[in-house]
Structure 1
Amino acid sequence: MSTLPATSQHAVVTIPTLSARAVLPWLAFAGLLMLVAMYFISAEQGATSLLSGTAVHEWVHDGRHLLGFPCH
């Protein structure tokens, strides 16, 4: 049976701080990517599409159903 020393040393954990100025551009970029992804998943159906044909619609077809978008 081992015994603990009378004085135990605790490791000091420092948590880095993030300023809003450093994080805000990354949040804006992530938000823009999400909006572009939502456009291609929800609105890109062929009638008013940015890309001709139905290729994008077929690529995201199952994802549309999982997110609850009707497409037929």
Structure 2
Amino acid sequence: MLTTSAERGSNVTMLAFVNAAGGTTPPVFVFPRKKPITQLTKDGADGCLGLVHESGWMTGDNFYASTVRAS
């Protein structure tokens, strides 16, 4: 696993969804920001989702948003 940070001490959380049959959905990224901007995921995988939270950590609301999109 590789951890990449734009600034020292600032990380991005990434969720990957894989089922037992090997099916996947595009990744979900949680950026440490207050407001989302589209440039954060413009070069990402097709269909990836960029969410934001002040801490950059996954929250219940962000998890729900990512699972609704994945279904």
Q: TM-score range by the shorter chain?
A: under 0.3
Larger Rg: 1
Greater per-residue helix proportion: 1
The structure with higher relative contact order (CA 8 Å, sep 6+) is: 2
Greater per-residue strand proportion: 2
